A and B are shown apart, each in its own frame.
Chain A
Amino acid sequence: MNRFNASTRRNFLKQLVLASGILTLPIRVQSASKSIHTRKIPSTGQDLSIIGTGSWRSFNVGNDHQTRLKRSEVLRTFFEMGGQMVDSSPMYGSSEEVLGFCIKQLGSTADPLFSATKVWTSDTNEGRQQIKDSHRLWGIPKFNLLQVHNLVNWRAHLDTLLQMKADGKLQYVGITTSHGRRHRDLENIIVSEPIDFVQLTYHMQNRDVEDRLLPASLEKGVAVIANRPFSGGDLFDDYQRYPLPDWVKEFDCNNWAQFFLKFVISHPAITCAIPATSRVDHMIENMGAGYGELPDASTRKKMLRYISSL
């Protein structure tokens, strides 16, 4: 019943990966930081690393200085392995404040940071204040991306964000949903509004977005961020006790995290996936998915057949 108990295999892997990761990190970073996969943001052509990081739960550690320092190390690993997009929201408790602490701790290591947060309130004026608060908490003068969170009061907030972009105070505008909610509304917005990004849930057990939202995003030139690529950890609970098949080596997959992530990022519409983690060893695994080969269309089908068979 206690999910805290679930990962015997991951704990074993952790010992190996952490040991090898610590020993080889500088070498790997030197060769790897130039070779992480990137995708172009359609509206500008800017390159963005294909694996980002989320901060729901993982960075909500409150005023605990010791744990904040640990999260700084998680973020250090992220940047050293070529990560760029860090996504958060006012909804995530103290995550924004903790991220601001970590970014300050890391200094120039946190570069290039692609900062992404959200507006989450039903009140339009409160939304403007929330954006100011986010700037203060992150400690950065300008966000790369601001998104309307879960379509809450989306019309008014979108107007605010588009105005900020026009004034040069913001680089990109986006809108988010999660858990497969309000897809019809999101599709209408993708088609009719001048947004740069859309964020939605996409993983091996929830591929609803493949039918309409991903094709619509590709057609309209909207970048797609995939949240919850592990379904909040459920995919590990369901599958990690099984062995990975040998053929995963063909696309440089070494563990289940990379299996799940490579499936997500191999879809041509996906610009970036943002798994969240509070552990350095898990961050190493996640970022590893951004390197090497990616599965092609037939391999993706093979991956789906494999997990269906389990």
Chain B
Amino acid sequence: MEELLSYRLADLLLFSESTYLRQFERYNQWLYPGQYIAAIYGLLVLVFITRFNLFLNRILFMIQGLCWLLMSYGFLWQFYQSINWMVLYFIPVFIIQGFIFLRLGFKQNLILAKGRVLFSGLILWFLALIFNPVLEFSTQRNFSELSCFLLTPDSIAVTSVATMMLFNQKWLWFIPSFSWLVFSLLTYLSMESYSVLIPGMSLIIIMIYLLTPLNRFSANKPTL
């Protein structure tokens, strides 16, 4: 036990930050021009979500479900697992999260939250869409290495949690997203990278949402 505790987080990281960023560069090449389509989509949701009807709400869930499945194959399997064997255990987690979204997309009562809950969800959406790439670019990631909206793990995990809040969904359905955010937080902590802010801030917002009566301010009851 004493020996285990003598290990620093950095000792458990098997790859350099430059190698990690290289996976994003390769993934972006593989994904092109999907990242631009995803960014436009994200912007449209941010601006128009309050005008969405039930059909569009369902489409939103379906798209996110498909994105989780795409990433389990695209980013995790094709690229990231080749430098980090632990990621193999997240592939089924991503698939499960993807199917949860697809299943939720068939629900009848996908009603947008209101008030502070809506605001919290939109903040997280903004974090993933705008703040994340700006933070990455300002901390010396090259443009080709930026993690694109919705189609990289951190981004979709944050938008998934945002969706949970926006539509008052049960938090249990989003345990896969939480687990990824914790994993990502630990990865960036071990690299001593500023990118730790994204999973870090997201997890703080999630904890506030879950532990405070914030969800009581929504006009809609959380659904099962």
| A contact residues vs B (CB 8 Å cutoff) | 1-5, 56-58, 60-64, 67, 91-94, 179, 181-182, 232, 278
Contact = CB atoms under 8 A, between A and B. Distances in A.
A44 to B, nearest CB: 33
Contacts of A58: 16
A2 B193 contact: yes
B140 A2 contact: yes
Interface stretch (B59-67, B82-90, B99-107, B204-212): B82-90
Interface stretch (B18-26, B149-157, B160-168, B215-223): B18-26
A3 B19 contact: no
B6 A2 contact: no
Contact of A67 (B22, B84, B140, B194): B22
B14 interface: yes
14 contacts: A1-B193, A4-B18, A56-B14, A57-B14, A57-B15, A58-B16, A61-B15, A62-B83, A63-B79, A63-B82, A67-B19, A91-B14, A182-B3, A278-B16
A60 B14 contact: yes
Given A57-B15, A60-B14, A94-B82, 7 more contacts: A2-B139, A3-B17, A3-B191, A57-B14, A60-B15, A62-B83, A179-B7
A93 B87 CA distance: 12
B31 interface: no
B14 to A, nearest CB: 4
A179 B22 contact: no
A60 B13 CA distance: 11
Interface in B1-51: 3, 6-7, 10-11, 13-19, 22-23, 26
A93 B84 contact: yes
B79 A62 contact: yes
A181 B8 CA distance: 13
B58 to A, nearest CB: 37
